[in-house]
Amino acid sequence: MDGKSSAERILAAVRAIPRGQVAGYGEVARRAGLPGRARLAARVLSENADPDLPWHRVLRSDGRIAFPEGSRGYREQAQRLRAEGVRVVKGRVQGRKAVATLDEQVWGFDGK
């Protein structure tokens, strides 16, 4: 992918998640051209220092916030998602899920 590092590709995939939508770490990795590298996506996000990165749109594959319940990160992620109109109940996104592909999330089908 045009000489970008894995981290740059992951960050670009996160920036591409539309406002009010969510994606799982695995989907972010797949979109970055790194299928099967969900843990790498999580690590890159944990090391991110860009305050404008919409990191809060990335969830576990089951739609849950990955931070420990009650932690600062957990509260901030839930608040940011709610500010975008995403319903979060007990740390889980309701009515939306971190689906297999971003196409499915945005368009309602896989696009294949």
pLDDT tens column, 15-71: 999 999 999 999 999 999 999 999 999 999 999 999 999 999 999 989 999 999 999
What's the rounded Cα separation, in Å, for the pair 69 and 27? 23
Domain ranges of the chain: 6-107
The domain made up of 6-107 has a fold known as: Arc Repressor Mutant, subunit A (1.10.10)
SS3 assignment, position 89: strand
Residue 103 confidence class, pLDDT cut points 50, 70, 90: low
Higher pLDDT, 112 or 3: 3
pTM of the model: 0.82
Handedness of CA 16, 44, 108, 18 (dihedral sign): negative
